[in-house]
Structure formats: structure tokens, C-alpha cells
Chain A
Amino acid sequence: MVNPVVKYESFSFWYGDFQALYDIDLDVEPRSVTAVIGPSGCGKSTLIKAVNRISEMEAQIRIDGRVLLEGEDVYAPGVDLVSLRRRVGMVFQKPNPFPMSVFENVAYGPRLFGVTKRPELEQIVEESLRRAALWPEVRDRLKSSALRLSGGQQQRLCIARCLAVQPEVILMDEPAASLDPTSTQKVEDLIIELKENYTIIIVTHNMQQAARISKRTAFLMNGRLVEVNDTEKMFTRPDNELTEDYITGRFG
């Protein structure tokens, strides 16, 4: 296997006294989609949020082991969260565009990093919206509120917003969970396209979705990594009995 972009090394994670992840070892391949599946509350979101360290904003946390981003331990002392999060973008379960115009939403990230010239911003915004397959729909309403867009458009806007800072890794926490089937389809198509240039780790509840878009799949249960395998193998001949029970719907 090629050098992993993200590598979990016997990684454990606690919210306060509650242990959410147990001794995870996982390699994430570059420029591919890795899906994380498992029952509710099994630690899927926690697993991906461990990469950009966003959980720290919401709770008192504790970790053991390491998470490496291109060989660098993201939990090492002295790690700059700003540069870390610039390299590791995130798309949330519920679309969360800022209450600003479409343009300002996408320009938000670049502005944070000091891009102020209008032509440059315009170029980044257009480029990002194109990559997020949203440009044709919003080119005439860049100045109107992002909250006016449909849910699916909002989610693609959030993806565009994330692309605008040129991350290497994109974390997606059930990005289609609150979308209708048509919008879900669009987001899935987009993810398949994005994997050419980005490393994507996606949490999903939907096993068909995992099967459709991912190259590798990790199955998590009760905070433990049960199996990680090539998606095709995982959904046809899983190595683990628990995995088989889960994907055939015996529990979940």
C-alpha cells in the first residue's frame, strides 16, 4: 500500500471519563474515499473528528496513541490548530453555511488566510464552486443569502467553502444524511469526482452509499475497529462475522 496520508496508531479517545475509541489502528490511502460505517454511537464521527481536532471545541477530551497526518503527529505539543484545520477540511452532517451571501461563504476561508484582493477572491470562489458542481446554479445569485439555497445546494456550498482553502484531506460526517435522494446523488457524484485530488474520509449510515463511493471501508462498533478492508471485499466476503451481521442488516 502507498504511504498513508492519515494514520491512526493505537489511538484511543475519551470524552471526559467516557471512552469513545479503543486502540484504533487505521491507514487512510491518499486520493481515495475511505468510508467509516457502524451503528449509531459507535464512534464514527469521533474517529474522523480526531484528525482535525474539532471535538476539543465541544468537550474535555483525552487521547492515547497517535494520529499522523503525513507522518506528523497532530496531537504533538506545539501543533498549530489553524494550519492543521487548513490542511484537513470538514463537511458536517447538517449543512451549516454562514448567514452571509453565497460569495462570502466561499471567500470566508481564503479571507482568514489573508487573501483580500477582489479579483483573486473572485477566482477562488468561482473555481471552488465549479469543483463543488454548484457554479451553474448560483452564478447569478452570488450576492444573495446562502440560507436561501436548498438543503442540497447548501451542502455543496459547504463543500465549496471547504475546497476554497485547498485542504489535502476532507472529513465528511454523514454529508448526505439530511438530504433528499436527488441531492444525495449529486453529493455522491461530487465525492467520486473529488477523490481524484483529495483524500476523503466519510462517515455514513448508508451502506449502499459506502459501497458506491468508497475504495476502502472501516467498520466500527462500540468504539473498536472491527474490520477494515477493500470496500468490494467488505460487502461481498467480509473477514469478520460481526461485519457480515451488520452489513446484512442483522443488527444496526
Chain B
Amino acid sequence: MRGSLSRGELAEPKKITVQAGLRPTRRLANAVMKQVFRVLTYVVVAVFAGIVLYIFVRALPVLRLSFITEPPRHGMLEGGVSTCIYGTVALLLLTSALAVPLGVAAAVYLNEFIGWGRRARLVRAAVNNLAGVPSIVFGLFGLGFFVVFLHIGASLLAASLTLAIVVLPIVIVSTEEALKAVPRDYRLGSAALGATRWQTISKVTLPQAVPGIITGTILSIGRVAGETAPILFTGAAFYLPHLPDHPRQQFMELSYHIFAMATQASDITKSMPVAFGTTFVLIALVFAFNLIGILYRAKLRRRKAW
């Protein structure tokens, strides 16, 4: 464009008045694109709201308080899903208890100790690839390794171990992000006082990263709650009359229950509302966990400067 201008034009640029700042076509393009992006954003919101609303409507026939307080009865077509809720919560807690310490330790090592050398790149590549593995692969691995090879048996423990591997990359990546966000000045200040690396990490860096680690845990919980494939062969039961009272026992779980009701039931007219009801409960449960995490994180952030 510049090249096509003559020297005279360059020497004396055309005055731009406030009214005629933009050409009409540019103004139009700007307005149109703004609307396009706006509509696309609303599409996302609408899809989400649509899904929740659809599930809620389809679940209405079974949604009563007893649905979450009673165990399934009569071929699981009646009663509630209390045993599945119990199993899911137990699975979420046990998985977090296994994955969070391991993931945080790995992230601390990566970010605070080995930095960006070749070894670190290799480990990061492994972590990223772990995140990309389809979850059914983990299910089969869990069956082969935890259930059979380690003789743990199909159980809450085996399923939690399997799921812990699934969520490990999420915990590691989010913890690393949280650690990176801690100002370097703190690390330098601490080291300059004669702190060892571990002293700096335990007294300054990690405490600062806790809100971010909680975010990672929240994300991973959402992921765990939705996974069916990894628990399919490792511990989820189609039906159990009793609650498990030991991690070595099998358990019922919401997402697997949805799968069972949607595909394995004899009477589809009766089972579909149960499947949707269970779905609704699952979504509500994940929201509840997220809410607790967000509130706790907000509380921690407020405490920072008092």
C-alpha cells in the first residue's frame, strides 16, 4: 500500500477529521463481526442451558427426594440412586487423595527442581501424552495391572487407582501453572536469606500455590465424576444390594448407572427417566463439588492480604 503512494502524499498526509475517521465499509465490517461473535458466544451458552434443561425435563418423572435417599429397587427401575451417589463420592474422594499428592509432588519436582532441561522436557512430554490417552485404554490397563496383576481385584481401590492415573496430568499441569504464578521475587528473597530449596517451597511457594492446586483438584473431580470407561472393568458394579464398606469391595457409580440404564435395561420406557434422573444428580453433584472448591479458594485468596 505504502509503495503505491506518491511522495507528495507521504509528505503531506490527509487530515483525518473526527467524523470521517473510519470508512463506512470498515465501520460496517466491525459492527457485523461484533454481532457474529456475540451470536456465537450465545450459542455456547444456549447449548449448555439446553442440555441442562433437556435433562431436567426428561428426569422430572423420577425426581423426588426419595430418588437421592433410597437405593434402587425392582430391577433398578424404581427407588433411587443413593448407593450410586455414595459410590461416586467415595470414588471422587479416594481418587483425589491418591492423585493430588502424587501430582503436586511431580509438579513441584518439575517446576522447582529440574526446570527446563532435557530431562524436564521428557517428563513433560510424558505427562502431556498421558493426558491424550483415551480413557478406555486406562480402563483396560487398570484391569490388567491393578485388578489382575496386583491382585487388588475389581474394587473401589482399583477403580480409584486407575482414575488417579487419568487425572494425574490435569493435577500436574494446573499445579505447575499455580507454581509458575508465584512471583520469582519470593523465591529469590527466600534463597537470599539462606533457605534451602525445600524450605522455600514448603514455606513460601507451595502455600502461595494452594488456590491454584485446588482449582486443579476441582477440574479433576469433574473429570473423574464423568468417566465411565476407566471404572468399567476395574470396580463399578451393575447392581449391588448393599453399600460397600471397604475399598476392596465393588461399588455402584452414577455414570456407570446411566450407561446401564440407557443400554442394559429390559423396559426402556421405565429405565430412560431413571437414566435422566441419574444424569441430573450427577451434574448436580459435580456442580456441588465445584462450588465448594470455588468458595474455599475465594476464602484463601481473601486471607492473603488482611
Write the residues of chain A forming the contact surface with B, with a CB cutoff of 8 angstroms: 52, 54, 57-58, 81-86, 89-90, 92, 94, 96-99, 108-109, 112-113, 144-145, 147-148, 158, 161-162, 165
Contact = CB atoms under 8 A, between A and B. Distances in A.
Contacts of B119: none
Contacts of A112: 193-195, 199
14 contacts: A54-B188, A57-B191, A82-B194, A85-B192, A85-B193, A89-B193, A97-B189, A99-B186, A108-B190, A113-B194, A144-B306, A147-B304, A148-B306, A162-B193
Contacts, number: 68
A94 B304 CA distance: 19
Given A99-B186, A112-B193, 18 more contacts: A57-B187, A57-B188, A81-B194, A82-B196, A85-B192, A86-B193, A89-B192, A90-B192, A96-B185, A97-B189, A112-B194, A112-B199, A144-B306, A148-B306, A161-B189, A161-B193, A162-B192, A162-B193
Contacts of A148: 305-306
Interface in B191-233: 191-196, 199, 203-204, 208
B192 to A, nearest CB: 4
A161 B190 CA distance: 10
A65 to B, nearest CB: 23
Given A57-B187, A58-B184, A144-B306, A98 B204 contact: yes
User: Which 7 A-B residue pairs are closest in the complex by CB-CB distance?
Assistant: A96-B185, A86-B194, A90-B192, A85-B194, A109-B193, A96-B189, A147-B305
Contact of B208 (A52, A57, A82, A99): A99
B306 A108 contact: no
A144 B188 CA distance: 23
Nearest to B183: A96
A54 B191 contact: yes
Given A96-B186, A99-B304, A108 B208 contact: no
Contacts of A99: 186, 208, 304-305
* B187, B194, B195, B305: residue with the most chain A Cβ atoms closer than 10 Å: B194
A92 B208 contact: no
Contacts of A97: 189
A92 B194 contact: no
Interface in B264-306: 304-306
Contacts of B184: 58
Nearest to A171: B192
Contacts of B188: 54, 57-58, 92, 96
Nearest to A113: B194
Contacts of A161: 189, 193
A86 B183 CA distance: 22
A74 to B, nearest CB: 14
Contacts of B195: 82, 112
A54 B306 contact: no
A83 B187 CA distance: 17
B185 A94 contact: yes
A56 B19 CA distance: 58
A106 to B, nearest CB: 10
A109 B194 contact: yes
A205 B190 CA distance: 25
Given A99-B208, A109-B194, A92 B185 contact: yes
A98 B186 contact: yes
Nearest to B192: A90
A50 to B, nearest CB: 13
A145 B304 contact: yes
A121 B194 CA distance: 17
A96 B187 CA distance: 10
B194 A108 contact: no
Contact of B189 (A83, A86, A92, A147): A92
A174 to B, nearest CB: 14
Contacts of B185: 92, 94, 96
A96 B191 CA distance: 12
Nearest to A164: B193
B203 A108 contact: yes
Given A96-B186, A145-B305, A54 B192 contact: yes
B193 A145 contact: no
B274 to A, nearest CB: 50
A247 B305 CA distance: 42
Interface in B122-152: none
Given A96-B185, A145-B304, A148-B305, A52 B192 contact: yes
B213 to A, nearest CB: 16
Interface in B148-199: 183-196, 199
Given A92-B185, A99-B304, A145-B306, A108 B191 contact: no
A58 B193 CA distance: 16
